[in-house]
Structure 1
Amino acid sequence: MPTIHLPTIETARLRLRPLLEADIPAHYAVFSDSDVARYWSREPWTDIVQAEESIKAILAAQADGSEARFGIELLSTGELIGNVGLHHFFGSNRRCEIGYALGSRHWGQGYATEALRAAIRHGFEALDLNRIEADIDPRNIGSARVLEKLGFRKEGFMPERWFVFGEFADTVNYGLLKRYWDEA
């Protein structure tokens, strides 16, 4: 895919925007939260250098067209509370994966659904995708609800795919076709 220009997208309560080096402390706060990392494919960050390296990698991926990751910012305060990204693009197949994380103190308020809806719309409309995929730990009931609310359908199960927090974790695969999105 070509270099991805990330627009700033505003929803009723959020601003999705490109991540910046200035976001390193807030980015670290999200991924060092053990509640956030609980169902992630790696353990929580323990050093801000990890956030610095992550932001550098995100900026490089945007420059080479392999990722479109938005920071999720509250319109009311300007606080960065998480991110949502389209990544692992397969241009010839017009598909990618979506990933997201939201600081745990912002869970249960509909922010994840609002942010993902905007990112998905961007993927289908601006990037001309036909399919967006997600994979989650099946114990992450909140994330499953968000995906299903947005029209994703369960498509597969992979037992013991990750080893995190000293245990093997399963994965449930979800898919969203543009035609499902258009029908909703």
Structure 2
Amino acid sequence: MPVLSPVELFTPRLKLRWMDERDVDAHFAVFSDPDVTRYWSSGPWTSLEQAREHIAAAQAAYADGSGMRLGAELIGTGKLIGSVSLHRFVDASRRCEVGYALARVHWGGGYVSEALRALLNYGFTALDLNRIEADVDPRNGASARVLEKLGFQREGYMPERWIVQGEPADTVYYGLLRRHWKG
């Protein structure tokens, strides 16, 4: 696992930073929205305790090097509007997976692409990753477009890989190699 140190990444509109207890309410607001969690691996959250547990798990992942979830905060207001993550590191192959979620009110504004561009650049440079992967429900066209815009290539399809909110869900795999990154 990589050695993870607290980091802040900046984009023109966002500050990406390690999450902590101050983020519970905003994190809950994102993941309690059924539209945000429609293609997530679990249903919408129903209590603040779920947000607390998720942030505690992120902090544990920082400590053991298994993952990093950065809160996406609007510069100027300090408002947390979502998060991006690198997780499931495979050291021997220098690869991991990427994840992201954004409050619905901010969809379509380019924030996810902006945040991911900074996170991917950090992964390929500071963490020396060779490959970053994503797992997307094929019905989530917006997510696929974001990945493709950033240079990810569609690499595979697995029908009914997940059961999401009681319904079988397919997976499209995407991958991005360091040599193809144009950060």
Do they superpose with TM above 0.5?
yes
Deviations 1:14-34 (A, max 9, x none): 000110111011111111110
AA at the equivalent of 1:164: V
CA distance in 2, matches of 1:69, 1:126: 16
Q: For the Cα contact (< 8 Å) 1:136–1:143, is it kept in 2?
A: yes
Q: CA deviation at 1:41?
A: 1.2
- Dislocated runs of 4+, deviation >3 Å: none
| Equivalent residue runs for 1:117-128 within 5 Å | 117-128=117-128
* TM score, norm. by length of structure 2: 0.97
Q: Which residue in 2 is equivalent to 1:43?
A: 43
Q: For the Cα contact (< 8 Å) 2:2–2:91, is it kept in 1?
A: no
Q: CA deviation at 1:2?
A: 4.1
| Equivalent residue runs for 1:14-33 within 5 Å | 14-33=14-33
Figure out how many residues of one structure are paired with residues of the other and give that number. Answer: 183
SS of residue matched to 2:139: coil
Q: Which residue in 2 is equivalent to 1:152?
A: 152
Deviations 1:3-55 (A, max 9, x none): 30131111000000110111011111111110000011111111111111111
CA distance in 2, matches of 1:59, 1:166: 29
Bigger CA drift: 164-173 or 126-135?
164-173
Q: For the Cα contact (< 8 Å) 1:6–1:68, is it kept in 2?
A: no
AA at the equivalent of 2:140: N
Deviations 1:53-105 (A, max 9, x none): 11111000100000011100011311000100000001111000000100111
AA at the equivalent of 2:168: F
| Equivalent residue runs for 1:50-129 within 5 Å | 50-129=50-129
* TM score, norm. by length of structure 1: 0.97
CA distance in 1, matches of 2:164, 2:7: 34
What is the identity percentage for the equivalent residue pairs of Structure 1 and Structure 2? 62
Structure 1 gap ranges (5+): none
CA distance in 1, matches of 2:55, 2:42: 17
AA at the equivalent of 1:42: S
Superposition RMSD on alpha carbons, in Å? 1.0
CA distance in 2, matches of 1:45, 1:179: 38
Q: For the Cα contact (< 8 Å) 2:2–2:127, is it kept in 1?
A: no
CA distance in 1, matches of 2:84, 2:49: 21
